[in-house]
Structure 1
């Protein structure tokens, strides 16, 4: 069994998942979101992130080639990698080892270590690197049935690379393929200054970015909406869980609100 990297192959011994492959994708997802390889803390996030409903809305199916864009600590990797194992292809487009921001290479190393420690679950994952404009080969061009990104768009706005990121996704997705975006939702009409500092982004601006890259807007869903999120916090979205940047200050109030109000958007690359 192997965890594959572009330019590097690490052979890792392991065995197949012990549970039988479930024919029904929904059953398989429902099993994976509470599987033993997931921590209690990550399983607790299911309440706010609705992974089964989100992935079904965005069109995930067995046998697909899927690219997860900047998977962070691997919350969705824990679901997508075993879901596609032996029946599909999963690319994790993580930070570049040459990333210019100090947190990026260590985050990549932690992700690599996470995968290497459990080859039974992650042994068929392919890690690629994303750092526009320098590293943009996240999957073979035109190969992905589905590209997914969760809570990342605000970071690209802060870095001023939002257009380059969406253009990269467009190259990786096949004609007729889908881009799925989940992002913290700002009130419509919010300024670029608000979006570049708060972590919240307007739904209209995300649609504008995707369409500028060539995607067509297909649909939106309120799967990850949270009307209790007032979006007016001192530390922006990071005031809320799971980050809770204010520490113990009003902690119970923020825990009661839960995770942020999020848009869930589906785009398609036009057929050529």
Structure 2
């Protein structure tokens, strides 16, 4: 097992507070990760993304309904499927751009109904069809910055970020949580570096989610990398897979 979370749950310097996470929660997710049905590629990604520690912050439990937003190939959807169990449900949610990006991985992940509690949802960015007051929680991992990225040639038109965030808030039940992981940009850059570097300023993120009705609750330092100076595109071989990433938890009042 990785280092105990209680020893590593440190407040982020520019933020205030760190949610309590029990070792038992992390251990429960570790059992999901140990499922021999998971692919070799997913197991390799575990070392980079540390999903046991990150997901423990959200405290998802058996029977929950959770959305994996802009899920791509569904790496987190499969882990969440194991966490919520057969009486829970995971919405694997993509817009058309992320659906195209994750097409091959999704075909393999969802083949032969191997994840029966996962519902595959695809729709336009401003109307993903998740419903209202139905989610106990949601995650958006390394995708939030794409709300502020535009590349028509790559099939990624401008998104109304406000509408996107509002539908997440509507879909969450009161008390529901949103877990956000993304590549950090230099402080004070707002959403500008999303276009050129695929990064976003975490203080901008906090203000953005608060503006749309979510309360910032906690942060964890598990994916921090002080050697990343935030100047390189996240796909640069020098930093790819090793970016400085923030992990935030928000809650709907």
Q: Would you say 1:74 and 2:74 are equivalent positions?
A: yes
**Structure 2: distance between partners of 1:265 and 1:154:** 14
Aligned counterpart in structure 2 of residue 136 of structure 1, from 122, 128, 138: 128
Q: Which runs of 5+ in 2 are unaligned?
A: 1-23, 150-157
What corresponds to 2:86 in structure 1?
86
* Structure 1 partner of 2:229: 230
For residues 153-232 of structure 1, what are the structure 2 equivalents within 5 Å?
Answer: 153-158=144-149, 159-190=158-189, 192-232=191-231
TM-score with structure 2 length normalisation? 0.79
CA offset digits 1:136-162 (Å, max 9, x no partner): 312x31011111110001111113432
Taking the aligned partners of 1:262 and 1:194, their CA distance within structure 2 comes to: 14
Distance 1:48 1:212, change over 3 A: same
| Whole-Å separation in 1 of the counterparts to 2:234 and 2:26 | 31
What's the counterpart of residue 146 of structure 1? 137
Distance 2:25 2:193 in 1: 39
Q: 1:174 to 1:212 in 2, by over 3 A?
A: same
- Quickly say closer, same or farther: Cα 1:49–1:238, change in 2 above 3 A: same
Other structure's SS at 2:222 match: coil
CA contact (8 A) 1:143 1:172 kept: yes
Count of residues in Structure 1 that have an aligned counterpart in Structure 2: 222
Secondary structure of 1:237's counterpart equals: coil
What is aligned with 1:56? 56
Max Rg structure: 1
- Candidates 219, 237, 242, aligned match of 1:259: 242
Shift of 1:58: 1.6
Per the alignment, do residues 105 and 145 of structure 1 end up closer, same or farther by CA in structure 2, a change over 3 Å counting?
A: closer
Per the normalisation by structure 1, the TM-score is 0.74
Q: Tell whether the 8 Å contact from 2:191 to 2:201 is kept in structure 1 after alignment.
A: no
Measure how far apart 1:214 and its partner are.
0.8
